[in-house]
A = this chain, B = another copy of it.
Amino acid sequence: MSQHHVIATYLIETPYPLELAAEVMAGEQSTGTFISVPGETPELKEQHAAKVISIEELESSNTASLPGVHLAQGMDHPVYRRALVKLSFPLHNFGPSLTNLLSTVAGNLYELREFSGLRLVDLELPTAFSERYPGPKFGIDGTRKLANVYDRPIIGTIVKPSIGLPIAEYGPLVRQLAEAGLDFIKDDELCANPPAAPFEQRVATVMNEIERVADRTGKKLMYAFNITGEIDEMKRNHDLVLKSGGTCVMVSLNSVGFAGVTHLRQYTELPIHGHRNQWGAMTRSPLLGMSFTAYQKLWRTAGVDHLHTNGVNSKFTESNESVIKSIQDCLTPMFGDYKVMPVLSSAQWAGSAIPTYEAIQSRDVIHLAGGGILAHPGGIAAGVRSMHLGWEAAVQGIPLTEFAQTHPEISEAIRIFGKK
């Protein structure tokens, strides 16, 4: 792999010849303009032009996936060809800068009228990026150490209701969850610093309960406090969590943006739990936006330690195939040790472990269940236990129904959640 270029792979759809379309992309995002200007010398083009490395033609269609494509004269019966196009961008055009990389590989080109579809599907970044950006500070190993959980997934839940829980009810709820043996709790992404539960009071109340349970049981739960906000506010919130003995902070990545998150990474003493809300808008149109493969590389470089991926059979639109691919993406090595822990959530229960482990063959995940733990008929502790057992069955390759015969927490879970 070149250390002097970024390789970006796109899925495109165009009524123009593929070679021409690929050259338009390369030109727009490097040396091109609509009328040639005097300074565009051959030397300059040689040094700075993006180059088309490969074009792999895929299927074609008689209809355009997206509106706005411009048909040239004579294109009366256009065929919209799809292809994977690899472009090579000279690193010295932008340097190892995530923000300026983004303007180059995912900027104006989405608006080019030669395309009825354009999606960034992968990125290969040279090591100059890892020299500038130190990546996840804690990653999988650091998170396990802080949570004191090894050889199995970190089992967690989300504070519900999503928003509006009065501060007085946080204490009893967190105590109950911690006593039930949960490893991890996260704030909902809707709840950062609302009047009903101001951030400062929430941290004080929650950490007090977590420490009290830890004093009794020796197990200190990891709580991801939602510090999403302005630059100075995130710093204050981070410092408060750290000072209060907390072990994780959560950020809504797309709301804050790259500059905000890399700034947090510079000073953080805690793992960054990356929530990807708004991700659907970037990926749900199959020929637009960005794939998760590219997305997670950008955020790992920015220094995120945990990253949401959805879970199998969730309440969202994402297919199980896509969820599994996302988890695998997170677990694929990058820059040696830029390890991010995938966070599985949405309609998860004990049984979700089976197809997940079968596909990923790893236990390096944070597995969040809301109802699947809290609404377990045996109570919350039984719900937590059912999650552990689900993973045990998965790892041992024992069918869940068989495991249920000797484990009531599983048979109960199947009865309540098994039809979902």
A69: nearest residue on chain B (CB-CB)? Answer: B317
Report A382 CB to chain B, min CB distance, Å: 15
Q: Does A165 contact B (CB under 8 A)?
A: yes
Please tell me how many copies of the chain the complex holds: 2
Given the complex, which residues of B lie within 8 Å of A286, measured CB to CB?
67
Given the complex, which residues of B lie within 8 Å of A58, measured CB to CB?
none
Report A128 CB to chain B, min CB distance, Å: 12
Q: Does A180 contact B (CB under 8 A)?
A: no
The segment from A77-85, A192-200, A205-213, A238-246 found at the interface with B is A192-200
> Could you tell me if B32 and A162 are in contact, using CB atoms closer than 8 angstroms?
yes
Measured between alpha carbons, how far is A258 from B255 in the docked complex, in Å? Answer: 7
The segment from A39-47, A138-146, A217-225, A397-405 found at the interface with B is A39-47
Given the complex, which residues of B lie within 8 Å of A232, measured CB to CB?
263
Max chain B CB contacts within 10 Å: which of A110, A164, A166, A275? A164
Measured between alpha carbons, how far is A32 from B411 in the docked complex, in Å? Answer: 27
> Could you tell me if B35 and A278 are in contact, using CB atoms closer than 8 angstroms?
no
Report A3 CB to chain B, min CB distance, Å: 15
Q: Mark A25-52, 1 if CB is under 8 A from B, else 0.
A: 0000111111101111000110110000
Max chain B CB contacts within 10 Å: which of A108, A169, A256? A108
The segment from A93-101, A335-343, A358-366, A385-393 found at the interface with B is A93-101
Q: Does A134 contact B (CB under 8 A)?
A: no
> Could you tell me if B371 and A102 are in contact, using CB atoms closer than 8 angstroms?
no
Q: Does A319 contact B (CB under 8 A)?
A: yes
- Given A99-B229, A260-B260, do A347 and B34 touch, yes or no (CB 8 Å)? yes
13 A-B pairs (CB sep. < 8 Å): A30-B163, A34-B346, A93-B164, A93-B194, A99-B192, A103-B275, A110-B278, A110-B284, A112-B316, A115-B317, A232-B263, A259-B260, A285-B288
